[in-house]
């Protein structure tokens, strides 16, 4: 991997040249998060800065306790930083009220969780529209958009199914479609392939590849090198600090795709 001191936008061939203004999906500066306990204060993030340009695909890695979940919670507007700034568009989440955070969270962030988090009583089509429900936006246009997203993730023939009637990979496809219904700043994926076998993991990563090539911004937390190498960039945390920020070259990504495709083919041949 080509290690660079870059924190997001410079020296990147895959994002627009400096002449075109680079739009940021998010920008983080000196972000800290402290958890105050009775006996001690845990400094989970100790001053993290980086930018995520629109269209980027970032894997966040790091050992257990390094601050990944804390960072993810801040990016997802589930919590507020102790100090520093986290810009989403023109808004700094540090200065938002809890209600504003809740609005941003439900309207502008797409979540994909390891455990899918679908509503069992609802159909595929209804699950995809859940984020709109909270905004009271459920007209024919929204339904059409949900159908289009279901089609995009290969579930056109499963619109009326319930989650229990789907495989794990299919359920994660529903979650991905749901994450996109609000046109989010970015899709936040938390160990999204953690519950899936290698064949299904490959299918989900192929969907992420396609979404990203269409311009969607993806930020995922993973502990698997093979999964992280499919992103365009790997940000590693260590002890609450940004440890490294590395670009994954297109060649490295292609090699990883081929390696995984070969492993999948071998697995299927054995079946």
Ligand X SMILES: Nc1ncnc2c1ncn2[C@@H]1O[C@H](COP(=O)(O)OP(=O)(O)O)[C@@H](O)[C@H]1O
Contact residues toward ligand X (CB under 6 A) are 35, 37, 42, 44, 62, 64-70
Query: What is the total count of residues that contact Mg ion (CB under 5 A)?
Result: 2
Q: Which residues share a beta bridge with 27?
A: 51, 87
Specify the residue, 166 or 231, whose C-beta has the smaller distance to Mg ion. 231
- Residues in CB range of 174: below 8 A, 6 or more apart: 116, 118, 124, 127, 128, 150, 153, 155, 163, 166
Specify the residue, 137 or 243, whose C-beta has the smaller distance to ligand X. 243
CB 56 within 8 A of CB 233: yes
Least distance from Mg ion to the Cβ atom of residue 164, Å? 28
Specify the residue, 225 or 266, whose C-beta has the smaller distance to ligand X. 225
Least distance from ligand X to the Cβ atom of residue 100, Å? 22
Least distance from ligand X to the Cβ atom of residue 208, Å? 21
Quote the tokens at residue 34: 């402290």
| Torsion angle of the four alpha carbons 161, 167, 168, 169, in this order, in degrees rounded to the nearest 10 | -90
Specify the residue, 65 or 154, whose C-beta has the smaller distance to ligand X. 65
Least distance from ligand X to the Cβ atom of residue 240, Å? 7
Neighbouring CB atoms inside 10 A of 243's CB total 14
Please give the backbone phi and psi of residue 133, each rounded to the nearest 5 degrees, phi first.
-55, -40
69 binds Mg ion per the rule CB under 5 A? yes
Q: Which stretch binds Mg ion (CB under 5 A): 7-15, 27-35, 61-69, 139-147?
A: 61-69
Binding residues for Mg ion (CB under 5 A): 68-69
């Amino acid at each position: 991997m080509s290690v660079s001191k870059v924190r997001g936008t410079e020296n990147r061939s895959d994002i627009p040249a400096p002449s075109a203004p680079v739009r940021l999906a998010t920008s983080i500066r000196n972000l800290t998060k402290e958890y105050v306990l009775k006996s001690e204060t845990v400094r989970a993030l100790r001053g993290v800065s980086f930018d995520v340009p629109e269209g980027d695909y970032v894997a966040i890695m790091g050992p257990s306790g390094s601050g990944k979940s804390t960072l993810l919670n801040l990016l997802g507007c589930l919590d507020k930083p102790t100090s520093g700034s986290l810009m989403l568009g023109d808004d700094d989440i540090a200065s938002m009220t809890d209600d504003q955070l809740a609005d941003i969270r439900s309207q502008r962030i797409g979540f994909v969780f390891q455990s899918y988090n679908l509503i069992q009583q609802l159909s595929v089509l209804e699950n995809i529209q859940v984020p709109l429900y909270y905004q009271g936006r459920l007209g024919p246009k929204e339904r059409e958009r949900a159908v289009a997203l279901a089609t995009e993730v290969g579930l056109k023939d499963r619109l009326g199914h319930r989650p229990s009637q789907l495989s794990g990979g299919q359920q994660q496809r529903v979650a991905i479609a749901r994450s996109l219904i609000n046109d989010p700043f970015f899709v936040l994926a938390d160990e999204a392939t953690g519950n899936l076998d290698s064949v299904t993991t490959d299918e989900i990563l192929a969907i992420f590849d396609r979404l990203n090539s269409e311009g969607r911004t993806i930020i995922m937390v993973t502990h698997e090198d093979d999964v992280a190498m499919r992103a365009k960039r790997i940000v590693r945390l260590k002890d609450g600090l940004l440890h490294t920020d590395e670009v994954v070259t297109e060649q490295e990504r292609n090699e990883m795709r081929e390696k995984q495709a070969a492993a999948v083919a071998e697995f299927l041949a054995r079946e």
